[in-house]
Chains A and B, each alone.
With several copies, the nearest count.
Chain A
Amino acid sequence: MKITILYFARIKEVVNYSSEDVVLPDGVETIVALKSWLSGRGETWRKLFHGSGVVRAAINHELVDDMATVEEGDEVAFFPPVTGG
Chain B
Amino acid sequence: MDTPSYPSPGYLNISVQSEDFDIGLELQQLKAATPQAGALVNFVGLVRDMSVDGKLNRMFIEHYPAMTEKALHHIAGQAFQRWPLLGVRIIHRVGTLAAQAQIVLVAAASLHRQAAFEACAFMMDYLKAEAPLWKKEIGDFGEHWVEARTSDEQAKQQWKLPG
Residues in A lying within 8 Å of B, measured CB to CB: 6, 8-10, 54, 58, 61, 63, 75, 77, 79-85
Contacts and interface: CB of A to CB of B under 8 A. Distances in A.
Contact of B45 (A10, A75, A79, A85): A85
A58 B64 contact: yes
B92 A10 contact: no
Contact of B130 (A54, A63, A75): A63
Given A8-B62, A9-B145, A10-B145, A82 B67 contact: no
Contacts of B71: 61, 63
Interface stretch (B6-14, B24-32, B50-58, B131-139): B131-139
Secondary structure of the B contact surface, majority rule: mixed
Interface of B: 45, 61-64, 66-67, 70-71, 92, 103-104, 113, 124, 127-136, 145-148, 152-153
A35 B47 CA distance: 34
A82 B145 contact: no
A20 B124 CA distance: 32
Contacts of B103: 84-85
Contact of A8 (B45, B64, B92, B131): B64
A84 B134 contact: yes
A49 to B, nearest CB: 17
Contacts of A8: 62-64, 132, 134
A78 to B, nearest CB: 11
B67 A83 contact: no
